Amino acid sequence: MSLKNKLCGAAAVCCLMSAFNASAIETKARNAILMDYDTGQYLYTKDHKKMVPPASMSKLMTIYIIFDKLKDGSLSLDDTFTVSENAWRKGGAASGGSTMFLKIGQKVSVEDLIKGILIQSGNDACIVAAENIAGSEEDFAHMMNIKAKRMGLNNSSFVNSTGLPDPDQRMSMEDLALLSRAIIKEFPEFFHLFSEKYFTFNGIRQGNRNPLLYSMPYADGMKTGHTEEAGFSLTATAKKGDRRLIEVMVGMKSNKERSEEAERLMSWGFREFDNYKIFEKGQKITDIPVWFGTAKEVGVMVDEDVVRTIAKGKVLDTKLTAVYDKPVKSPVTKGQKLGSVRIEVPGMETTEVPLVAMDNVEALGFFGRMKENLKYLLFGE
């Protein structure tokens, strides 16, 4: 959607905006976040930076590493891994957790392991993948930590590939949302696997545990989790029309409460917000005077599409301000940053977008500068 805008030029503008106030809705989740996929803006947060037990939602990092190796060609879907006794004991049916029901010594394809992780939430599948990729689950967890740091997920800590309880297995809601966004963006060829509802392996058919796949027609991923400490948890995404939202929540008391709270928050995000195109790439914003240049002024533009997620009732209250020093000293190079547009959306953090020169402006020579100085002395600015 497009947003008509009004701009005012200024040498300096000072303003203070508070973080988004999500008091319009509350959730029973202990920690939560709702993010717009395209803009990355947070629509709702509740202790979203706190490191908490992620349970099986940490399998998203295990999957990220597998997808990354498939993408770089070091792994293929047809490769087969062997099930160790350790993987069978720690992640099999006898462990009491979710399982793919793998057997000791069985050879299983990477494609089946991915489905076993995403659809069946198999702890055994995660351990098999970890051992065969890194040599041991401990070394794989080290890979997970390195990858998390490189991705800027600074509130995450891994000691296993499964999310089984451990005091050092922690993630924040923010990190899980950012990780989910990266998976969707970087691995579109594999994303459809998150929405598959059933998978049969070794003659055992299991359903996807994501409740939104059954209750919301536009939900299409990501991963559930449950331990006594974490409670019933969910990382979910849904796409309605052109918009996609990502939500993460932990601490619900039951599967029913998890389903209801997740659907309620997601529906609220789609209902109350929309994405608005404020500027188009290459759109001219204003002209800035040039001092001692071969042209008296230079046009400035934004060099990217600028889209913001805005509460539907606050669109007309959005304030746009062009901020720059004038005049600008020549020479000016096309693409040179000369200022910024400050975007103030009620209830959200103020952001700025660079303004860049649309053309080159050469500096005047000696006689040209003398002429301009004389004009200034005689007639002023």
Per-position DSSP letters for 251-288, written without gaps between them: EESSHHHHHHHHHHHHHHHHHHEEEEEEE-TT-EEEEE
What is the rounded CA–CA span in Å between residue 325 and residue 338? 8
What is the rounded CA–CA span in Å between residue 162 and residue 89? 13
Bridge partners (DSSP) of residue 33 are: 45, 248
What is the rounded CA–CA span in Å between residue 60 and residue 329? 51
Among 185, 207, 187, smallest CA distance to 198 is for 207
Catalytic residue, chosen from 56, 84, 233, 340, is 56
Whether 67 and 129 have beta carbons less than 8 Å apart is answered as no
Q: Look at residue 373 and give its three-state secondary structure.
A: helix
| Positive/negative CA dihedral, 210, 212, 218, 219 | negative
Among 182, 62, 202, smallest CA distance to 121 is for 62
Among 250, 254, 217, 223, smallest CA distance to 236 is for 223
Among 135, 109, 136, smallest CA distance to 100 is for 109
Catalytic residue flag (residue 59): yes
Catalytic residue flag (residue 56): yes
Q: Read off the tokens for 244.
A: 């996609």
What is the rounded CA–CA span in Å between residue 64 and residue 171? 15
What is the rounded CA–CA span in Å between residue 373 and residue 285? 29
Catalytic residue, chosen from 46, 59, 90, 115, is 59
Backbone angles phi, psi at 321, to 5 degrees: -130, 125
Catalytic residue flag (residue 121): yes
Q: Look at residue 222 and give its three-state secondary structure.
A: strand
Q: At what angle do helices 59-72 and 110-118 cross, to 10 degrees?
A: 150
Q: Look at residue 349 and give its three-state secondary structure.
A: coil
Backbone angles phi, psi at 196, to 5 degrees: -70, 130
Whether 237 and 220 have beta carbons less than 8 Å apart is answered as yes
Catalytic residue, chosen from 58, 121, 180, 340, is 121
Q: Which sequence positions are flagged as catalytic?
A: 56, 59, 121
